[in-house]
Amino acid sequence: MTKRQEGGAGWKSWRKWAAAALLLALIYAGRHLWLREIGEFLVVSDAPQNADIAVVLAGDGFGRRILKAADLVRQGYAPQVLVDGPRGMYGFDEASLAIRFAVDQGAPQQIFIPLVMRARSTMAEARAVDEELRRRNVHTALVVTSNYHTRRARAVFRRYGSRDIRYLIIAAPDEDFSPENWWTTRDAQKVVFFEYAKLIDWWLVE
């Protein structure tokens, strides 16, 4: 190889490294944009409409979901709230604990209907909820869940919900996750990691 060829090869190699470094710098500079997109992709919330009932999905230990549902009743979108939840919380079920919390926060006791179930996955939960709503002759339901869970919940209810029941997915704010800045806290990072893992598993399996 001549000196000119060696110099040309070195220049090409340098250009490749420079281009890679520039690409990495651009990715880093725009990280807030694509990280926000990652968070916002999880959130798909319908606009609330008049419905026969609101449904609170289990899994929120801070009460944001049930308070959101109670607010929907207060605004006149639904007359009652079906609150589901499994047993096993130190001798209590999650539905009863959530209702007690909401009542302590000022929500009227009479709007809540507990639905104790064995379901410990969104798929099993959707089946149990759908069966109960069919028994109640419900035609439209507002399904309230945490914002990060809405995309997967919508897919699950579309797959396992009855075709004669219209399910609208309503996002409630989450204690740990905000799509605008989830990467700034460890708790929110874990929420995003596990939700994407569950979402990918849903896509692969279903």
Render pLDDT for 83-129 as a digit per residue (tens, 0 to 9).
999 887 778 899 999 999 999 999 999 999 999 998 778 999 999 99
Distance CA 146, CA 172 (A): 5
Angle between helix axes 150-160 and 122-135 (nearest 10 degrees) is 50
Please tell me what DSSP assigns to residue 48: P
Q: What is the DSSP letter of 166?
A: E
Residues 46 and 136 in one domain: yes
Same domain, 108 and 176: yes
Residue 156 sits in the same domain as residue 87: yes
Quote the mean pLDDT of the chain: 87
C-alpha–C-alpha distance, residues 202 and 206, integer Å: 6
How many domains are there within the chain? 2
**Residue 118 shares a structural domain with residue 188:** yes
Q: Are 192 and 182 in contact (CB under 8 A)?
A: yes
Of the listed ranges 18-22, 37-41, 56-60, the least confidently predicted one is 18-22
48 lies in the same domain as 36? no
| Domain span holding position 86 | 42-205
97 CA to centre of own chain: 21
Using CA atoms, how far apart are residues 47 and 85, in angstroms rounded to an integer?
25
94 and 63 belong to one structural domain = yes
Report d(CA 144, CA 59) in Å as an integer. Answer: 11
